[in-house]
């Protein structure tokens, strides 16, 4: 289920626990996870976690 994580301030996909800025992306992620039992790289890369890692790599 996609819920709004108040502590984090973003939507979370409860299957893979990644956060997304939009509910639409989080739902997309969850739908994929459910169907394929894995993560969609194209979607996961847009998660807040992936974005912050990307920023960290630049430094």
The site for Zn ion (CB under 5 A) is made up of 13, 15-16, 29, 33
Q: Which residues of 21-41 are buried (b: 16+ CB within 10 A; e: fewer)?
A: eeeebbbbbbebbeeeeebbe
Q: Which residue has the tokens 């969609």?
A: 40
Query: For the chain, how many residues are written?
Result: 59
Minimum distance of Zn ion from residue 42's CB (angstroms): 12
Residue 10 or residue 29: which is nearer to Zn ion going by CB? 29
Residue 8 or residue 59: which is nearer to Zn ion going by CB? 8
Minimum distance of Zn ion from residue 29's CB (angstroms): 4
């Amino acid at each position: 289920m996609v819920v709004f994580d108040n502590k984090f301030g973003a939507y979370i996909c409860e299957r893979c626990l990644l956060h997304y800025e939009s509910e639409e992306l989080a739902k997309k992620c969850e739908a994929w996870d459910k169907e394929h039992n894995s993560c969609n790289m194209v979607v996961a890369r847009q998660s807040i976690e992936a974005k912050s890692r990307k920023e960290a790599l630049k430094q």
